[in-house]
Chains A and B, each alone.
Chain A
Amino acid sequence: MSPLAKLLEAALFAASRPLTFEELAALDPEAGEAAVRGALEEVQRAFATDDHGVELVEIAEGWQFLTRREYAEAVSRAGIAQRARRLSAAALEALAIVAYRQPVGRLEIEEIRGVDSGAVLDKLVERGLVEVVTRGDGLGRPLLYGTTPGFLEILGLRDLGELPRLEELSVALRPPAPAEPE
């Protein structure tokens, strides 16, 4: 590997969170953007081909080493690491609504779900998957929520663009269009 690739590998190994491209590029201010990209690919390729137990994954708008899937069972059975707890259906519903409607207030989430959602939202905030991003203009200036990088991390997404597009769902529902005059 090139010296730059090895530098990136060291930084990615040291970090316990995904490193953004900007953070990685800042490691060597001399290197251009293209060189950093090339070096990242070099690291990724090295770990993809050389029979490693870990791989370099693009996740949550950054890069991170993750263990390979095939070792999950053995590693977790040994009690060295545990799979993340599954989210409840209620939490996932609220999460889906926040992801697609952000910034969105509690009332809108409750309208769509048809149930009180305050507690579920609090839990998502507590788990760092959702955060208050702004306040609405409505009555009482309601808190509006959006997803966090932690949301992308637990789903293994690069960015929100990787979420399914609404048109791809079997029930594609678009915001109600204004009635067309006949």
Chain B
Amino acid sequence: MTASLVQNESGFVVELEQFSGPLDLLLHLIREDELDITDLPIAKVADQFLLVISELGLNQAADYLEMAARLLRLKVQMLLPRRIGDDEWEDPRAELVRRLLEYQQIRELVDWLARAAARRAEQFVRGYAPEPEPLPAAPLAIDLNDLLGAAERVIALIPEPILHRVVPRPLDVDGATARIQELLATREEFGWLDIVGERAGIVELLSAFIALLELARRGALSVGQPRAFAPIVIRRESPREAA
């Protein structure tokens, strides 16, 4: 019995020709040892199955591993003690036996279909056209730079997480108040931009705004706007009027 089997360096099973699946292998073992499929000696079958898949290197193929695990579980279940004459006992092997019989039936049909197809292949239709060659999966031709480039493109697509770092940014209301008072001392009237300048940061803006409101409250100045959205005009108030 030889399995045509190709393993690449990582031990990844890429081709299995001998058996079309774990059920096929199981049936093969059962037939070879002429076991009774309806009264399977699970312990024996499980051990053999494990032996064969490790010999053939199939123990890396998920389908075979799943079956191996199933067989081991059945082996344990069969060891559990049960009362004699226990009618409630359900044979844990029943499901596996059902699947094996079903699969065996499919294999018989496969033989029939293969014979029918071989017989039909002996006759040609008019206007023979060659079958297209089955396309092999295209080999992945890629160099390291392409791979890195692709990885970068994927990473670039990941949306930047929006993180809020909360840092204390002390408002300098006193400083802004001093600055406004300086302006008040020299000018009767001035604009908002005279206080904060063209490129004020959020902290400066807030500081100036609060200082402005505070000074307006105290009556040191009045704040006006000639029309909607027009620049704000700040005017010095006489202490007398504010009182």
Contact = CB atoms under 8 A, between A and B. Distances in A.
A121 B182 CA distance: 85
A176 B98 contact: yes
A54 B63 CA distance: 47
Interface string A23-58: 000000000000000000000000000000010010
Nearest to A157: B116
B119 interface: yes
Contact of A75 (B21, B23, B124): B124
A163 to B, nearest CB: 8
A115 B105 contact: no
Interface in B165-204: none
Contacts of B114: 86-87, 92
B63 A116 contact: yes
A6 interface: no
A96 interface: yes
Interface string B10-25: 0000000000111110
Given A95-B113, A96-B113, A164-B109, A155 B120 contact: yes
A150 to B, nearest CB: 12
B105 A93 contact: no
Contacts of A114: 21-23, 63, 67, 99, 103
Contacts of A154: 117, 120-121
B125 A90 contact: no
B123 interface: yes
B113 A67 contact: no
A115 B21 contact: yes
A173 B101 contact: yes
Nearest to A18: B125
B220 to A, nearest CB: 72
Q: Is the interface of B mostly helix, strand, loop or mixed?
A: helix
B116 A156 contact: yes
B108 interface: yes
A116 B23 CA distance: 12
A50 to B, nearest CB: 18
Given A65-B126, A113-B103, A164-B112, A84 B21 contact: no
A169 interface: yes
A69 B105 contact: no
Contacts of B120: 84, 153-156
Interface stretch (B48-56, B127-135, B145-153, B224-232): B127-135
B117 A87 contact: yes
B110 A83 contact: no
Interface string A68-107: 1100100100001111111111101101110110000000
A96 B41 CA distance: 29
Contact of B121 (A15, A84, A116, A170): A84
A113 B20 contact: yes
A90 B105 contact: no
A139 interface: no
B122 A83 contact: yes
A21 interface: no
Given A115-B21, A171-B104, A66 B123 contact: yes
B22 A115 contact: yes
Interface of B: 20-24, 63, 67, 98-99, 101-110, 112-114, 116-128, 130-131, 134
Top 5 nearest A-B pairs (CB, nearest first) are A156-B120, A115-B21, A81-B128, A96-B109, A66-B123
27 contacts: A15-B126, A16-B127, A65-B125, A66-B124, A72-B122, A72-B124, A75-B124, A81-B124, A82-B130, A83-B122, A84-B117, A86-B118, A92-B113, A93-B107, A95-B113, A96-B109, A112-B99, A112-B106, A113-B23, A113-B106, A115-B21, A115-B22, A156-B123, A157-B116, A164-B112, A171-B101, A172-B105
